[in-house]
Amino acid sequence: MSAAVPSTEPTQSVDNLTDGFHLLIDALKINGVKTIYNVPGIPITDLGRYAQAQGLRVLSFRHEQHAGYAAAAAGFLTKKPGICMTVSAPGFLNGLTALAHATTNCWPMILISGSSEREIVDLQRGDYEEMDQLAIARPHCKAAYRILHAEDIGLGVARAIRAALTGRPGGVYLDIPGQLLGQVMDAVEGQKSLIEVVDPNPASVPSPEAISRAVDVLKSAKKPLIILGKGAAYAQADDKVRELVETLGFPYLPMSMAKGLLPDTHPQCASAARSLVLKESDCVFLIGARLNWLLQHGQGKSWGEKGSKKFVQIDIEPTEMDSNQKISAPLIGDIESCATALLDAIGSNWQKPPEEWTGAVSSKVKANVEKMAPRLRNNNSPMDYQGSLGVMKELIAQNPDVVLVNEGANALDQARSIIDIHKPRKRLDVGTWGIMGIGMGSAVAAAVETGNQVLAIEGDSAFGFCGMEVETICRYNLPVCIVIMNNNGIYRGDGTNWSGGEDPSTTVFVKGARYDLMMQAFGGEGVTVNNPDELRQAIQAAFDSRKPTLINAVIAEDAGKESGNIGNLNPSSVVAQARYPQAKKI
Ligand code: OXT
Ligand code: ADP
Ligand code: MG
């Protein structure tokens, strides 16, 4: 059955032949792949070189996790699988966290890893970087495939692309035993074996019954609320989503990465009245958002009285329904098809919700925005989160195409609520898992995939997970401006060692660290700023020059809260509280 011929014929002309390297590159290219996020090494070093020679953009990182986070972010931004390429065992494992992250976030990504030959791995004979990678990958992604023969490369790549994209998107693992790349076969046969995937994102249209059920529930609501999730941002049905939200006239809450789908300054945006709308609403319409921990599973104090709400949900994944609360009107389908069908069913006589409800929400928004405004204008030194982020709010409003990357605890939660996003898919952050370390990979992907300026707002701890990638940013001369919110630690910099011993507290770092010098080491711009005015000037200079820049922003050690806005998730016990009374004061 094998069309492969040995590659060792010394006198054979190669004109009519191809090999595993070229077939893999060609299979990716005919499916529209333009960029590979990569860390070279045995057995994929030459694959990267040849891919670059064949016109693909191959960006090499310093660690596979960040190449993987870049691929995951690329999947979210482009609605096409982001490709990450790694070496075997350790490189593969480094990339696997990112693959699991992509899957958890419902983003398409393909992790291609070189591996040892089956004959060696299966008998556990102790190969160089030996590991049964396929078995290890399988539980952490949507699908996992291995290609053994050159003539199957087209099939393997097509399966991976379709699995990553169709239905709920996710991560796919593609196992490439090293010898596969060197297999040689007839070039014409090889070309014929490639598959260009047709319609990997097929429309998924909800039934008319499901639509009329949803319209009935939405119509009967007195205090309706829409929650837009990052699935709605991913879907790239921006105009339809906006039309639906505006036609219905409901207040809406954007989840973190759905911010900007409609501008955060939109009159229906209820972000600044979050507690009120979650508690008081009687009908919640979820569009590409899951009722997971980020929404307290749709229950508890913040959701008001038990049983006080009905839920309507659009999701491409049927099993998402009823995963946390009863969904009275499930709409299974893609967001564009569901929104189109709903708009058709609603027609032009839609009765918007009572003014009593929308007016109450608007008043709360107005009051909270006004309350926050003066805090955002302080010029304190050292800075607090409000003064520093207030400056960045203004700069993003003036430059709405800038892609904001954001991670940390206080640096994340404060930035999310303070900085308005004005356009779709202009915010990338820690996602469903709340992972630290996505920052530099996401920043590289955002710059490469969009060509836009990137502003990465990073907690000093968060940055520590991925900081070496500043060299990558400098090497490719990317328009990335990194602001380190430097409060000398995780959550706060003023923790003490409760034993009274000499080691610092578990949550504090070297005081007064100069992260800006790291950037200078690789030829980028690096500067320390101590007040919001200096911060504004430094960011503006970075936007003007589009040079890789790192701004070390000195934040007061005591400005943050334990775990930012999610301190309630830390476990506690009466024993621990009795033994460590200091714990209560944090
Ligand atoms: O309505 P109310 O009154 O409730 O008010 C709300 C809004 O109405 C209001 N608001 C506004 N007011 C006025 N104007 C405007 N425009 C406005 N907008 C909103 O503000 C409040 C809050 O609104 P929000 O944000 O919408 O609501 P809330 O309640 O926060 O939303 C709930 C959530 C759950 C949806 C939201 O909080 C959320 O999305 N949270 C995500 C949290 C998250 O994922 N955190 C990251 C993980 S934390 C922790 O695990 C960390 N680690 C451990 C670790 C991790 N994560 N990963 C790995 C690989 N290893 C270890 C570590 C190490 S964080 C961390 C490092 C931290 O240190 P850093 O130095 O990096 O950072 P610093 O803290 O800065 O030092
Ligand atoms: P957030 O964290 O912003 O609340 P989630 O990641 O929890 O968002 O939810 C995103 C949801 O969107 C997932 O359940 C996913 O299945 C769904 N989804 C992704 N793409 C589409 C699409 N094109 N149409 C409909 N639903 C989608
Ligand atoms: Mg910090």
Residue 369 Cβ inside 6 Å of ligand 1? The answer reads yes
CA 503 to centroid of ligand 1, rounded, Å: 29
> Ligand 2 atom 9: the closest Cα is on which residue?
289
Tens of each residue's pLDDT in the chain, 586 residues: 344 555 555 556 899 999 999 999 999 999 999 999 999 999 999 999 999 999 999 999 999 999 999 999 999 999 999 999 999 999 999 999 999 999 999 999 999 999 999 999 999 999 999 999 999 999 999 999 999 999 999 999 999 999 999 999 999 999 999 999 999 999 999 999 999 999 999 999 999 999 999 999 999 999 999 999 999 999 999 999 999 999 999 999 999 999 999 999 999 999 999 999 999 999 999 999 999 999 999 999 999 999 999 999 999 999 999 999 999 999 999 999 999 999 999 988 999 999 999 999 999 999 999 999 999 999 999 999 999 999 999 999 999 999 999 999 999 999 999 999 999 999 999 999 999 999 999 999 999 999 999 999 999 999 999 999 999 999 999 999 999 999 999 999 999 999 999 999 999 999 999 999 999 999 999 999 999 999 999 999 999 999 999 999 999 999 999 999 999 999 999 999 899 988 766 6
Residue 294 Cβ inside 6 Å of ligand 1? The answer reads yes
Selection from 522, 572, 571 nearest residue 547 by Cα: 522
Tell me which H or E stretch contains 283.
Answer: strand 283-287
The answer to whether the CB of 325 falls within 8 A of the CB of 291 is yes
> Ligand 2 atom 20: the closest Cα is on which residue?
231
Residue 368 Cβ inside 6 Å of ligand 1? The answer reads yes
For ligand 1, pick from 259, 389, 413, 435 the residue to mutate: most ligand atoms within 8 Å of CB. 413
Tell me which H or E stretch contains 161.
Answer: helix 153-165
Query: What structural domains does the chain harbor?
Result: 14-192 (3.40.50.970), 208-363 (3.40.50.1220), 377-579 (3.40.50.970)
**Residues having CB within 6 Å of any atom of ligand 2:** 105-106, 168, 229-231, 234-235, 255, 257-258, 288-290, 292, 294, 314-317, 320, 334-335, 432
Kindly give the number of the ligand 2 atom that is closest to the alpha carbon of 320: 14
Q: Which residues line ion ligand 3, judged by CB < 5 Å? A: 459-460, 487
CA 484 to centroid of ligand 3, rounded, Å: 9
The answer to whether the CB of 457 falls within 8 A of the CB of 485 is yes
Kindly give the number of the ligand 1 atom that is closest to the alpha carbon of 295: 35
Kindly give the number of the ligand 2 atom that is closest to the alpha carbon of 431: 2
179 φ/ψ angles, rounded to the nearest 5 degrees: -65, -25
CA 259 to centroid of ligand 1, rounded, Å: 14
The answer to whether the CB of 257 falls within 8 A of the CB of 446 is no
CA 447 to centroid of ligand 2, rounded, Å: 24
Whole-number Å distance between alpha carbons of 582 and 586 = 7
CA 456 to centroid of ligand 1, rounded, Å: 16
346 φ/ψ angles, rounded to the nearest 5 degrees: -70, -40
Three-class SS of 338-390? HHHHHHHHHCCCCCCCCHHHHHHHHHHHHHHHHHHHHHHHCCCCCECHHHHHH
For residue 449, what are the CA distances in angstroms to 322, 373, 559? Answer: 36, 34, 35
CA 491 to centroid of ligand 1, rounded, Å: 11
CB-neighbour burial class of residue 226 (10 A; exposed 0-12, middle 13-18, buried 19+): buried
